[in-house]
Structure 1
Amino acid sequence: MAQIQRTPLADQAAELLLDRIRAGEWQLGQRLPGETTLAPQLGVGRSTVREAIRQLAGRGVLATRQGAGVFVMALDVPEDWDAVLRRADIISVIEARIAIESEAAALAADRRTASDVRAIRKALEARAASATSIETHVDADTAFHRAIVVAAHNPVLLELFDGLTPRLRQAMVEMLRIRSQYGGAADQQRHESLARTVIDRQPVSASHESREHLRELKEALS
């Protein structure tokens, strides 16, 4: 027979603190009162308050700074990234790509190395020869764009790009199956132009080429 499970006090205290943060009692970056103040307010001991704070720190809401106290880092628990992407429509994903890749292209034009140039050219050639199947083409196209993001030498932008890839791949494959046309000469020339602006160290043009390409993709998907 199933039994009623009692929620640990620390879990309850963490939820009470989170409710107060959500309600606006403390603002972003504000320092929380000390344990001696919070404990009687929550009706628990100081050790339970410490555990509740540790839980919320692990969830990205609070941060403990040695010798300074506990500070609010977020006004709610950040939602799981995969859950956000599963719920997002493809237009939202493309708009996120525009933000990420247009900046990455500009940075790549400034920072690209000889090794990056070789990788971009290799990915561009693979993309040109990828019309054997829709899946192959989508993967080759993604690899090309990723090579440019890698050349930006910004790990955060690369992490964001990689996070979008599974959701984008699914949508692109579905779209191309409906359209049944992909990998044409004009599309490849657009990608060659983007590669050239990065290789020739033209950050403004690189950002523009990336933005325009993705804008056209967004319109095609709308």
Structure 2
Amino acid sequence: MPLGPLRPSPLVEQAALHLREQITSGEWPVGTKLPGETTLAAQLGVGRSTVREAIRALAGAGLLQARQGSGVFVIATEPEEDLQTRLRRASVGDVYEIRMMIEVRAAELAAARRTDEDLAAMDRALAARGEAAGGPDEPFIDADIALHVAVVAAAHNPLLGDLFGEFLPVLREGLLDLVRLIDVPTAEGDHGRAAHTGLVEAIRARDAAGAAATIEEELRRTVAYLKARP
């Protein structure tokens, strides 16, 4: 497949698309060393800086790899999926397993590191969750998530908070599906009020083991609901 000059439009995107077509079509299989920037620029009718940016974009997608002193090589024919894409394809059960790993440790850290401001935020979130219980699904789920976000924030680990944040859109959809599949008032008469109150109180008392055990038990029950559904 010969390379041809590009039309004037977003040149970097066009250059990346043309180079990607060479890879996905099999013209440049895995292990192939790309022509030099000057050669590619001439074939595409663009500047070397445009070629450089296009190569950088494809390297970021996991298709190319620059090797110092050797050149740029094809290392994959399909781009890597980002975390959000993988999460959207994951089952709710898989998401909950990872959620459990994050939140159990977050609860332990929160118990050790929480501040008075953290406790105030958790108390507000707990009260809002209680007010939303028994009402429409979406406000209740949002209030529930807000409490868990407050607990993770109290761990005072920005990376942990960012990681949990990646889960939130998929988690919210999964929770909405869950409450539609099960009769929450029947399955959990107090909407988890006691468990969530116990979590906050354990963090208040700086009881790391108690906080971890409380959130783990709460999430395990949800996983049990998921596994028991038809």
What is the TM-score when the length of structure 1 is the normalising length?
A: 0.70
Q: CA RMSD in A?
A: 4.0
Distance of 1:184 and 1:147 partners within structure 2: 24
Q: Which residue does the alignment assign to 2:213?
A: 208
Which shifted more, 44-53 or 79-88?
44-53
Match of 2:80, SS? Answer: coil
Q: Give identity over the alignment, percent.
A: 35
Shift of 1:77: 4.0
Distance 1:110 1:10, change over 3 A: same
Q: Does residue 196 in structure 1 map to residue 201 in structure 2?
A: yes
Distance 1:186 1:175, change over 3 A: closer
Distance of 1:56 and 1:156 partners within structure 2: 26
Match of 1:78, SS? Answer: coil
Correspondence list, 1:1-222, <5 A: 39=35, 44=40, 47=48, 50-59=52-61, 77-133=79-135, 134-182=137-185, 184-185=189-190, 187-222=192-227
The residue identity in structure 2 corresponding to 1:146 is V
The residue identity in structure 1 corresponding to 2:182 is R
Distance 1:49 1:198, change over 3 A: same
Deviating 4+ runs (over 3 angstroms): 5-19, 37-40, 43-53, 56-64, 67-72, 74-78
Distance 1:78 1:114, change over 3 A: farther
* Gaps in structure 2 of 5+ consecutive residues: 7-13, 43-47
Contact 2:113/2:154 (8 A) holds in 1: yes
Which shifted more, 169-178 or 106-115?
169-178
Distance 1:108 1:61, change over 3 A: farther
Shift of 1:9: 6.4
The residue identity in structure 2 corresponding to 1:120 is M
Deviation readout 1:51-92 (Å, 9 max, x if unpaired) = 45422344367788xx999999x9774313332222111101
Distance of 2:21 and 2:160 partners within structure 1: 33
Q: Which residue does the alignment assign to 2:11?
A: none
Distance 1:44 1:169, change over 3 A: closer
Distance of 1:114 and 1:9 partners within structure 2: 54
Contact 2:129/2:147 (8 A) holds in 1: yes
What is the TM-score when the length of structure 2 is the normalising length?
A: 0.68
Distance 1:45 1:140, change over 3 A: closer
* Gaps in structure 1 of 5+ consecutive residues: 26-36
